[in-house]
Structure 1
Amino acid sequence: MNNIQKFGELVAMLLAHLYENFPRRTEIDAFEFLGIDFEHRSFLDDNEGYEEYISKCQEADFLLDTALWLIDSGFLYGKIENEMAGFYTSKKCIDITLSPKGLELLKLVPSSLEVSQNLGDKLVDTINQGAKDAGSKLVSEALTKFGSVNQLISLFSNLGG
């Protein structure tokens, strides 16, 4: 799986989770969210398991980078905690929730959906059924549609001023 596909799946999973919990601000532990069995340990005395540890940390970092992109793009509010020190590794999204822009995105009805269901509801159903790839495609279509709508709004507001 390439980075864009992985990014799309993680965006779908994050948005579905936050939509389900809206408006509560939540804490997301990256390892737990990804289903990674993680044992906090130090590798100072022995390198056994170090490669696996690094691999797990890279997966968690990719989730945090995805969440940070969503925060920087205005779809989420929250902050990222990414600390590694000896026995302690913490990779979390703190006080994270949908922003008004994120909620607006999830209220869209992409053309591939039935009129009665918005993106947020469909994402929750799709992710709960384990169809991450389908969720990624829904998010991609909605982001494209959302970008087009915002471009039109911007164009018309510039014409009126």
Structure 2
Amino acid sequence: MKRGKARGDDDFIAFAQASSARLQRAAYLLTGDQHQAEEAAQATLVRVYAAWGRISRKDPYAYARTVLANLITDQWRRPMREYATEAMPERPAAQDVADVVSKRRWLIGVLQSLSPRERAVVVLRHFFDASEAEVARELDLSPGTVKSLNSRALAKLRVTTGLVPPLRTETEAGAGL
């Protein structure tokens, strides 16, 4: 039996082509692992397709972000069962590869200094440009919690990246350090 286009397959294909790369980059920022990012982005698109009939007229990208964040949050809660390699897949050499890799490693290292919830909030707020209300809804947190997690995470990032000197302790201040 041949299936028709009743579910809006053409619309979904266009959506998937337009958003899969961005979902994968966001998943990479959240996981720090290329293989997990690819799997999470693919699983996200599968779930979006399953719900396409009811979400396609709303905001499918917001739904996809929510699914992605939930999938990755669930992975943090589960013990790791597989170990991916550190080898990155080959990419077209449009830029200096060493520079791109060093910046990516730096970003992932900085993001890994945050707790999983802080990292999710920062990526949703600043990579996806989601509002605090959207992040709160997508992560099932209160808006106040989103604000405090974002503020705390950005403060940690400033210290980690050296943009703001760390606070000195009383011992260091007394010793003239």
> Same-fold call, TM > 0.5?
no
Name the one with the larger strand percent.
1
Name the one with the larger helix percent.
2
Structure having the higher Rg: 2
Identify which of structures 1 and 2 has the higher relative contact order when contacts are C-alpha pairs closer than 8 Å and 6+ apart.
1
